[in-house]
């Protein structure tokens, strides 16, 4: 870094800050001065902004969605409820399969074996 330059803003060399806090001039000097004069106020303001931006996280729905998430007046939700009532809870749940494979060929061989072991599986 060159002497007399901070963040691309020239400042006086030799310890004289020209009366400004931090030794910066222009808009940068005003911002640096505001932060140095009231760090607690700006920390509270920054925290409030971050909390406000994080509020939508509270309404996130994580996981797999299905027709059980639809409004209760829709026909798809009513059909979902009737199936769950007739066959028990979890009947309409998603089926997730996990397999440890070491290559794409291994994955293809495992899925082919699985399809052969399940009669009626669409190919």
- Two structure tokens written together for 101: 């494979």
The reply to whether the predicted model has a pTM over 0.85 is no
As a whole number of angstroms, the distance between CA 98 and CA 102 comes to 13
Residue of 30 and 8 predicted with greater confidence: 30
* Residue 19: CB atoms within 10 Å: 7
Residue 20 pLDDT class (50, 70, 90 cuts): very low
Q: Could you give the 3-state DSSP secondary structure of residue 52?
A: helix
pLDDT, one tens digit per residue, over 72-122 is 999 989 988 888 888 887 777 667 777 777 888 888 887 888 777 777 666
Judge whether 23 and 6 are in contact, CB under 8 Å: yes
pLDDT at 6: 55
């Amino acid at each position: 870094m060159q002497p007399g330059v901070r963040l691309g803003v020239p400042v006086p060399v030799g310890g004289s800050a020209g009366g400004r806090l931090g030794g910066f001039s222009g808009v940068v000097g005003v911002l640096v001065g505001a932060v140095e004069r009231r760090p607690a106020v700006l920390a509270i303001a920054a925290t409030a902004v971050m909390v406000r931006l994080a509020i939508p996280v509270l309404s996130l729905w994580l996981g797999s969605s299905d027709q059980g998430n639809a409004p209760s007046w829709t026909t798809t939700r009513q059909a979902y409820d009737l199936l769950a009532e007739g066959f028990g809870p979890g009947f309409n749940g998603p089926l997730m399969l996990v397999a440890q494979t070491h290559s794409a060929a291994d994955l293809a061989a495992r899925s082919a074996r699985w399809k052969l072991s399940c009669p009626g599986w669409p190919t």
